[in-house]
Amino acid sequence: MTHTLGRPDFELIAGWIEPGHRVLDLGCGDGTLLKHLIGQRGVQGVGVEIDDANVLAAIRNGINVIQGNLERGLDEFADQAFDHVVLSRTLQTVRHTEGILREMLRVGREAVVSFPNFAYWKNLRSVLDGRMPVSEDLPFQWYDSPNVRFFTLLDFEALCDKMGLIIRERSVLDEEGNPVTSEVNFLGSLAVYRLTQNR
């Protein structure tokens, strides 16, 4: 499987977004995903990023980026201002999980969320061996990790159910970026979800 960006979840996300749609990328980093979506899908994109160096990198990438802290909400954006609000590999770093998911679906018709699956078998094996996992999808040591939450696909789906969010689509990938179709909570390293809510 070939991934032009080195991030297989980016390819999945691009496939879910229609040409010309309005996309808000939360925690956009250097703007790689938005640059790809603008180039490949002709989207109208805006990024939100907190890190100074990433904001500058996103600007250099030609991305319209706002420096902001996701923990404070998305007050600067109007209801339903976007078709898609993307939170790629960032949910595990936010403290107000329910708040950010609600805000994503306030400002966008659809939320796209990807996160590392803590129940992936290699992660479980690390814990059983007495060490916190370090992998491509969880690349930090325990003492310098930005992650404040460790959760599984089943945990996330239970939260969606509790919040009344509708899972429109789910894709689960292994560490090589290949789709996982069976025993996803055990064999999947990264999960990508499309969410909507009842209006």
CA torsion 43→181→134→157, rounded to 10°? 70
Q: Which two tokens stand for residue 44?
A: 């109208």
The encoded tokens of residue 185 equal 């909570």
Position with higher pLDDT, 140 vs 32: 32
CA–CA distance, 175 with 142 (Å, rounded to integer): 20
pLDDT tens sequence across 7-50:
888 989 999 999 999 999 999 999 999 999 999 999 999 999 99
* CA dist 182 → 10, 13, 134 (Å): 22, 21, 24
CB atoms within 10 A of CB 24: 25
Beta strands in 35-189 (DSSP E): 44-49, 65-67, 82-88, 108-116, 165-173
166: left (phi over 0), alpha (psi -120 to 50) or beta: beta
Is pTM, for the whole model, over 0.85? Answer: yes
> Over 60: is that where the pLDDT of 91 sits?
yes
What structural domains and CATH numbers belong to the chain? 8-197 (3.40.50.150)
